[in-house]
Structure 1
Amino acid sequence: MPTRILLEGRPGVGKTTALRRLASLLHTRAPVGFTTEEIREGTARVGFALETLDGRRAVLAHVAFPGPPSVGRYGVDLRVMDELALSALAPLSPSPTPGALALIDELGGMELYSSAFRKAVGELLTADVDVVATVHARHDPFTDALKRRAGIELVEVTARNRDALPGELAARLGA
């Protein structure tokens, strides 16, 4: 049975860092997927970028984007999710190769505005694919339903476990 892990935690606790470190520890597997990161100008956060594991990058959300949709003060560019994020996961559809692994950062407010992305996540979680994804801790109908699904392991990321977690997950995934 495939491994399906959701890494849940508060903003800033280290979910993205843990997922990136996990990706770097996977020497015998070639994961697909993406991570996100803050865009800063000086000390001010002005947006978020999405970067695929194969190195493609685009601005997902920014204070200069008009929206809708928007999350807080950030307008979200859904084309980044519908094109770049989905293309990063495309090797897993429709028939994933044995040992396929998806790393997804994040199942959060900005990303989930994309109905195509929500559909792709649902399909991944029923496919013969190992999935490790970060998820926000706040309530959301989509992510709450994912957290309750059979076969989903919910792991809380905390300041105490965030440094050891990538190595533990890599060992479980056969790094």
Structure 2
Amino acid sequence: MTKDKLEVITVGGGCFWCVEAVLNQIKGVEEVVSGYMGGTVPGTPTYREICSGLTGHAEVVQAKFNPEIISYEELLVMFMTSHDPTTLNRQGADVGTQYRSVIFYHNEEQQIIAEKIVEELTPYYEKTIVTEISPATTFHKAEVSHQNFYENNKDKMYCVVVISPKLAKLKKLYASKLKE
């Protein structure tokens, strides 16, 4: 499939290192980039500015995927079940609006699918799903040190304690959908 036939998904579910590691495992996902979206300040934000919580941006991952291999709907289900969509502005120890659960849709079809997935998953959670569903805005690529973080830092404590268990859960739930 040519690059121009790939579709785009942009999601945030806490620290982008986790979401990036998850999406990188899925068959049909061709490119995964960590970055920032949804803020209100002009210019290109830095990681330090995002971490202040004052820019309004969320840490997100933008991925290009082959819809002939994996659908947008399947990706959203895998995303929603790989983090806790019921905690407002936090994932584990990461707290602040920059760590919110969010789906940024790129067209009306993606919006409809996102709303449907949240509705379908709601009965499986004891608490209310608080995942924001918003139109995509300007995507700002994060600094190089944040790209492929898990692959480059598997021995770091955050990766061992937080990311590796998420990947084990992903493998348990979706083994047939993962890259070899």
Q: TM-score range by the shorter chain?
A: 0.3 to 0.5
Higher relative contact order (CA 8 A, sep 6+): 1
TM-score (normalised: structure 2): 0.33
More strand by share: 1
Question: TM-score, structure 1 length as denominator?
Answer: 0.34
